[in-house]
Each structure stands twice: as structure tokens, then as C-alpha cells.
Amino acid sequence: MDWYMILKAFIVGGALCIIAQILIDKTKLTPARILVAYVTIGAILGGLGWYKHLVDFAGCGATVPLTGFGNLLAKGAVSEVQSSGLVGAFTGGIKAASGGIAAAIFFGYIASLISKPKIKKQ
């Protein structure tokens, strides 16, 4: 196991979260807007080919935060464009990110079947 890589994932992932936390606390941005900003910025950086360097450096520290989700969408679109042209711009993004999206929808549905919301006890 590559412990150095795990440490880098910790630091980069944590740092991305700190930036978002500062945005939440210092500006009036709601969490939904911050998620949108992160995914959009990730897709733009991914499209420019810059986000790849962060992924090479920190692995899951770069792919697990939502910027990584945006990067995955953009990267998928670009590589699909290379293989199948304009249609690829539309199919590539979701195809690359389908695992996470499908899992979230499916597990979300299952969770709603088996569980009920409860009040925050705190």
C-alpha cells in the first residue's frame, strides 16, 4: 500500500474542503451553490487538461471531491469526442460519471424504502 499517496490524498482532499468551508462561513453562498461551483470549476479545469495533474499528484484527494466529479464529466466528454465526434460531447460526460450517479440514485431509492427521516437530536 502506497502510504505516501494516501497522505497526499488526505491533505489535498482536506484542503479542497477547507476552501469550501471558508466560502460557506464567509460568504452567503448556500451549500447547493458551492456544490455547483465546485463541479463547474472541476469541469472547466478538466477540459483545460489541468485537473489531471492534481489527480496524478493526489489520487482520490482530487477525484473524490466534487471538482473531481466535474473533471470526470469533462474528461469523458473530451475522450468520447475523440472517438465518436460531436455525439461524444453529449454521451461522454455522463458515461464516464455514470457509476457514481447511478449508485446515488439507486441507493437513494433503497434508503427511502427502508428508512424514515428523524429529527436531529442535537
Partner 1 sequence: MKKVGNQSYMLENPVNIAATASIVGPKEKGGPLHQFFDQCLEDEFWGEKSWESAESKIVKETVNMAISKSGIAARDFDFCFAGDLLNQCIASSFGLRETNIPFIGLFGACSTFVESMLVASSFIDGGFATNCVCAASSHFCSAEKQFRFPLELGNQRPQSSQWTVTGSGSAILTKDGTGPFITSFTPGKIVDMGIKDANNMGAAMAGAAEDTLIRHFKDTGRNPSYYDAIFTGDLGHIGKDILIDLASSKGYNIKSNYNDCGVLIFDKDKQDTHSGGSGCGCIATVFSGYIYKMLQEKQYKKVLLMATGALMNSTSSQQGESIPGIAHAISIEL
Partner 2 sequence: MKPIQSKEEYQAYVDDKTPNSPILKNCFNAFLVGGLICSIGQIIFEICKTRGVDESTSYTIVSMILVFCSAFLTSLNIFNKIGKFAGAGSLIPITGFANSIVSPAMEYKSEGYVMGVGAKMFTVAGPVLVYGISTSILVGIIYIIFNTQSLILV
Q: Which residues bind partner 1 (CB under 8 A)?
A: 24, 28, 31, 117-120, 122
Which amino acid type is present at position 119?
A: I
Report the alpha-carbon distance of residue 42 to residue 51 in Å, rounded.
7
Residues between 17 and 56 that touch partner 2 (CB under 8 A): 17-18, 20-26, 31-32, 34-36, 38-40, 42-44, 46-47
Q: 90 near 81, Cβ under 8 Å? A: no
Residues between 72 and 91 that touch partner 2 (CB under 8 A): 72-74, 76-78, 80-82, 84-90
Q: Which does 28 bind (CB under 5 to 8 A by kind): partner 2, partner 1, none?
A: partner 1
What is Dmax (Cα atoms) for the chain?
53
